[in-house]
Amino acid sequence: MTFNASRTLLLEIDLQNDFCPAYTLPSGENSGGALAVNNGQAVIPPLNALAAALCAKGGWVAATQDWHPPGHISFASSHAGKKPGETADGGQVLWPEHCVQGARGADFHDSFEAKYANLILRKGFRMGLDSYSAFFENDRQTPTGLEGWARFLGIDTVIIGGLATDYCVFYSAMDCKRLGFATIIASDAVLGVDIPEGSLEGAIKTMKEAGIIFAPSKDLLKDIL
């Protein structure tokens, strides 16, 4: 696998405190983000390495950041009688309150080297509209602006990593492929929530069937360097 670094974008999805366990209690249990992916912080070191290598060769990096207002439509607490994991009218999946604008949970994880990001794209900031994909809001019509920015730069290849595989990574990758970019998942730099059970396996299967490439970061680093 070869690609031109100067025409390649690394897309780092939602490397935020609320999606990562923050610390370990004396009991050994993780205590951290409101919607923590198990061992979520493990995806960050390979993405930091990819970002540094890509930038050194004239490539590009974009990072997304969930950025919800209080009372956002995706919060179970915004719907009377509803619990996280249930759905609201219209099929909106409901979650615990997470990544609230200005709160520590919305901050990037301390180990994430955001200095390499040429663009930080905030999504999910519209009160009545959720956003999983880095390219489109969940109405599947409202663009985030990422596609236009990437095309302006002449990007033809996008490497994707982050959280979570079966939601924001999945929707971003599927849109990326549909828009005509060569799409690669850094396989050791993604982790899923698997809610509901089976969603993670299904997302990986669907992405592979769509022609999205999965490759470990060590192999991608060889192509960059």
DSSP structure class, residue 55: H
Active site residue 168: yes
Q: CA–CA distance from 44 to each of 39, 53, 111, 143 (Å)?
A: 10, 14, 7, 26
Q: 120: which residues sit within 8 A by CB, 6+ positions away?
A: 62, 63, 64, 65, 114
Residues 51, 149, 72, 95: what is their CA dihedral angle, to the nearest 10 degrees?
A: -40
Considering the candidates 20, 55, 99, 168, report the single residue annotated as catalytic: 168
Give kind and range of the element (H or E) at residue 224. helix 217-224
Considering the candidates 55, 123, 166, 176, report the single residue annotated as catalytic: 123
For the annotated catalytic residues, the residue numbers are 14, 123, 168
